[in-house]
Amino acid sequence: MHNKTHVSEFHLMGFSDDPDMQLVLFGIFLSMYLITVLGNLLLILAVSSDPHLHTPMYFFLSNLSFNDICFTSTTVPKMILDILTHSRVISYVVCLTQMSLFVFFACMDDMLLTVMAYDRFVAICHPLHYAVTVSAHRCALLLLASVFLSLVDSQLHNLTVFLSNCFKHMEIANFFCDPSQLLNLSCSDPLLNTMVTYIVGVIYGFFPILGIFFSYYKIIYSVLKIPSSKGRYKAFSTCSSHLSAVCLFYGTGFGVYLGSDVSCSPSKGMVASLMYTVVTPMLNPFIYSLRNKDISSTLKKILSWRV
């Protein structure tokens, strides 16, 4: 039997209790956060300033960059503030708000990557119908649908935790209010928590991955039928940056949840969460700028003009 505790605040676990390490951690996390924000802002600026990039693919890319800024901002500023103030306490209301925003923006990343795979599928497999199928109206509808589904996922997690009137203890084994940690701490019916986890995993995990796999299966099948090697390379190059972002997002995401199930070490779980919440949004601008000639050329023009 666990002690049931009515809590008004939680205690987060930090990366280190060594006072000498606090300044080092502060510098590392602040640098990573600034690189993430500036890199994604540059990507948004490049897409908005170049008329040649006003296409559905770059429309979704700019929304992905904006979402990555918001996604990182839900966890890193609080972590930096905790290092400065030497406090790891987070109130119940702030914790639920952080968890809700974290789930929303994580789900938005998932939805946007799926929509971008659909965009590449239509562009390569049905190029003559691309302008009609992926019109500006259709792009807006896909974006609104992504926001709606992400909001439903966020509120479902929020409601599940909110309905729990007590918690087993107040310590969260992570540097932010991880949804899985809060569900494990709640005294509500474990069957309900398991059902919510599996339902959300199927709807927001399995189906998007299945859609991405199906899109790339059709893309590879269509590209292999192109007679010239130059044409095949050009078709694959338009998908390389998106495919790299998909592998990075889902690779780190699965690493967090599979690693937390296999390993009992909280420090390993926090490192995996750091990869998922901070490193992935930071690397996305580099992936798209280095592997996409249109983005890289536009960024060079912007930086040279600024200089």
Query: What letter does residue 160 receive in the DSSP assignment?
Result: H
- pLDDT value at position 144? 96
* Predicted confidence (pLDDT) per residue in 40-94, tens digit: 998 898 888 888 888 898 999 999 999 999 999 999 999 998 888 888 888 888 8
pLDDT over 50 at 289, yes or no? yes
Ranking 14-28, 149-163, 190-204, 269-283 by mean pLDDT, the lowest is 190-204
Q: Could you tell me the domains of the chain?
A: 9-306 (1.20.1070.10)
Burial 195-211 (b: 16+ CB within 10 A, else e): ebbeebeeebbeebbeb
Residue range 94-114: average pLDDT? 92
List the helix and strand counts (H, then E) for the chain: 13, 3
Q: For 50-135, where are the alpha helices, taking DSSP H only? A: 56-73, 76-85, 92-125, 130-133
Q: How many CB atoms lie within 10 A of CB 285?
A: 25
User: Which pLDDT band holds residue 2 (cuts at 50, 70, 90)?
Assistant: very low
* Spatial separation of the C-alpha atoms in residues 110 and 125, rounded to whole Å: 23
Question: What are the structure tokens assigned to 35, written together?
Answer: 């690189």
Give whole-number Cα distances, 203 to 111, 186, 192, 197, in Å.
Answer: 11, 23, 16, 10
Q: Is the pLDDT of residue 118 over 60?
A: yes
Residue 126 tokens read as: 């049905």
pTM score, whole prediction: 0.88
Whether pLDDT at 23 is above 60? yes
Q: Is residue 261 pLDDT above 60, yes or no? A: no
- CA-based nearest residue to 15, from 76, 96, 93, 101: 76
pLDDT, tens only, 121-133: 998 888 888 888 8
Please name the residues in contact with 1: beta carbons below 8 A apart, sequence gap of 6 or more.
none
Whole-angstrom distance, CA of residue 28 vs CA of residue 34: 10
How far apart CA 93 and CA 36 sit, in angstroms, is 27
